[in-house]
Amino acid sequence: MSKTTLEFTVGPGGWLQAFVRDPAGAIASVVALQLAPNADGNWGPVGTLHVDPLAQETLRGLPLRRILIAVAASQGLREQLTANLDKKVPEPGSVEFKQALAGYPQPELPRLKRPAGRNLPDEFYATVAERYRDAAGRGLSPRAAIAEAAGVSADVAGRWVRQARKRGYLPPTEPGKVGF
């Protein structure tokens, strides 16, 4: 199975557009779906779904679960969706609708700066856990994404992730398994 990555733009009325990129970085498909929070505050799909290109292969490989995991893992996406929830939605499929979703795609993980000193604070490990969940939600290897974002080796990033788990910022998991 090939590894794809996701980038998102947020539109009015709970609409989220996901760009599905293939391993080479080219856009393989674009998915637009309307989301709304349920009584528990978890975001889920409502209404219709727009997929481009509309083909059987695209629908079969639709990463809907990964999109929902990314929304659940990213406080920034949830805040943007909430801020735009009451905005008027143009007719889905129209030029105005496409323009409303034409924002800047959320880039890859922001840089992670290690604080000075030998004993790292809890806030740093909380940030590592947040980046871990964000990377996993985008379909990236969390350890590799953290290593790249911080400019450190994968081994150092792995130690940070283990420490974040030890401090309770990430749930326990089996070695080699992504768990957030």
Domain chopping of the chain, boundaries = 5-100, 108-180
156: left (phi over 0), alpha (psi -120 to 50) or beta: alpha
Residue 53 has a pLDDT of: 67
Stretches in the chain below the pLDDT threshold 70: 1-2, 53, 55, 57-58, 61, 102-109, 137-139, 175-180
pTM of the model: 0.55
SS3 at position 160: helix
Q: What is the DSSP letter of 35?
A: E
At 101, list the tokens.
Answer: 């979703």
What integer pLDDT is reported at residue 1 of this predicted model? Answer: 39
Give the tokens for residue 130: 């947040």
